[in-house]
A = this chain, B = another copy of it.
Amino acid sequence: MRKFHIVLVMLACIQNASAKNPLPSWNDGQAKQSIITFVDRVTAEDSESFVPVDERIAVFDNDGTLWCEFPLPNQAAFALDEIKRMLPENPEWKDEPAVAGLISGDVASLKADHNAGLIKLLALTHAGITPDTFDSRVENWLQTAKHPRFDCSYRKVIYQPMLELLEYLRTNQFETWIVSGGGQDFMRVFAEETYGIPPQQIIGSYGKLKYELIDGKPMLTKTLDSLFVDDKEGKPVAIAQFIGRRPIACFGNSDGDQAMMEYTTIDNPRPSFGLIVHHTDADREYAYDSNPSSSGKLTTALEAAPQRGWTVVDMKQDWKTVFPDQADEGL
């Protein structure tokens, strides 16, 4: 008992040390201050606003919140690269309208007919294979593909201030989750190393798997059956289904996150916090909101922010650096 107490005291010392300047890539200002004020409130023991450790759940969108989503969501870039990689061995794919549209550069047509083209491309690149095969394809792509503007691995177009925020929350005994419209399996390949978030804390869109014993060995196959799209109203639904507990902090960047922001912050018996990353920095990253050329449309959630008390991050003003490499040596 005494030993355990000593351990707790020492853990507390370590935490205080690393908490001295918890968000170095954030400029001083209202956004940074609102985060720190919230964390101080819910971790202050003997206060009414204290939240027990078990209930410190924080949920993060991924595309545009933790990493860049321009000029295309990174997973779409992966799917397009995969089609091109596999086309020589599957020449019949050229007769697919979706693939033909892709080759001719007519990406817009993929969205016609309820995204029929996109779903066809997903079927060719994300289904009919084992999770292990899929994972190694994603891994290979991440090791070779480069972001067209920043000319670096997609693993590096992540936001340094958000990495610090994840770490700061975990230091304060929050459990950090991803709740993204992106593919669950796709994110699980890199999120543990990149964000420190293990697979079981990553919720995304997913299709049902098929399980069989083949030649006496267990085999899972990815399918697009019962496709669950983890976006908009799907986000609070998935949170209830996977976590079973209401978050107290929510971080997003688009109207697709509005439902989980509402679910987190309205009528929550616990103190709660919502934050929107507003992309305002065309020089260092991108500037977009109501009319993005990629994903990330932000109109109604931005309008609702003042009334809801959500913090809006002005990327240009609030972030000292955008990507991790800038912090060290320039991008």
Most B CB contacts (10 A, CB to CB) among A201, A206, A212, A220 go to A220
Q: Is A244 in contact with chain B by the CB < 8 A criterion?
A: yes
Could you tell me the distance between the alpha carbons of A226 and B131 in the complex, rounded to whole angstroms?
23
Residues in B with CB closer than 8 Å to A244 are: 184-185, 188, 199-200, 202
User: Which stretch (A23-31, A35-43, A258-266) binds chain B?
Assistant: A258-266
User: Which stretch (A8-16, A63-71, A109-117, A289-297) binds chain B?
Assistant: A8-16
Given contacts A185-B244, A244-B199, contact A236 B211 (CB under 8 A): yes
Residue of chain B at shortest CB distance from A241: B206
Could you tell me the distance between the alpha carbons of A208 and B242 in the complex, rounded to whole angstroms?
12
Shortest CB distance A144–B (Å): 24
Within 8 A of B (CB), among A30-72: 54
Shortest CB distance A6–B (Å): 6
Q: Is A240 in contact with chain B by the CB < 8 A criterion?
A: yes
Chain A residues touching B, majority SS:
helix
Within 8 A of B (CB), among A172-213: 175, 184-185, 188, 192, 198-202, 206, 208-213
Q: Which of B14, B236, B240, B242 contacts A242 (CB 8 A)?
A: B242
Instruction: Mark contacts of A204-229 with chain B using CB atoms, 8 A cut-off: 1 yes-contact digit, 0 otherwise.
Output: 00101111110011101000001000
Given contacts A233-B211, A245-B200, contact A240 B259 (CB under 8 A): no
Q: B218 near A236 (CB under 8 angstroms)?
A: yes
Given contacts A236-B218, A262-B218, contact A241 B184 (CB under 8 A): yes
Q: Is A243 in contact with chain B by the CB < 8 A criterion?
A: yes
Residues in B with CB closer than 8 Å to A95 are: none
Q: Count chain A residues whose beta carbon lies closer than 8 angstroms to a beta carbon of B.
A: 47
Residue of chain B at shortest CB distance from A206: B241
Q: Is A267 in contact with chain B by the CB < 8 A criterion?
A: yes
Residue of chain B at shortest CB distance from A202: B244
Q: Which of B175, B184, B237 contacts A209 (CB 8 A)?
A: B237
Q: B14 near A218 (CB under 8 angstroms)?
A: no
Residues in B with CB closer than 8 Å to A86 are: none
Shortest CB distance A181–B (Å): 15
Residues in B with CB closer than 8 Å to A13 are: 3
Q: A14 near B10 (CB under 8 angstroms)?
A: no
Shortest CB distance A138–B (Å): 13
Residues in B with CB closer than 8 Å to A243 are: 199-200
Given contacts A7-B10, A245-B200, contact A266 B218 (CB under 8 A): yes
Shortest CB distance A19–B (Å): 14
Could you tell me the distance between the alpha carbons of A266 and B212 in the complex, rounded to whole angstroms?
12
Within 8 A of B (CB), among A116-139: 131
Residue of chain B at shortest CB distance from A203: B242
Residue of chain B at shortest CB distance from A213: B262
20 A-B pairs besides A209-B240, A209-B241 with CB distance below 8 A are: A7-B10, A7-B11, A7-B14, A54-B198, A175-B200, A198-B245, A199-B244, A199-B245, A202-B244, A209-B237, A211-B236, A211-B237, A213-B262, A216-B266, A217-B266, A217-B267, A218-B236, A220-B237, A220-B240, A226-B226
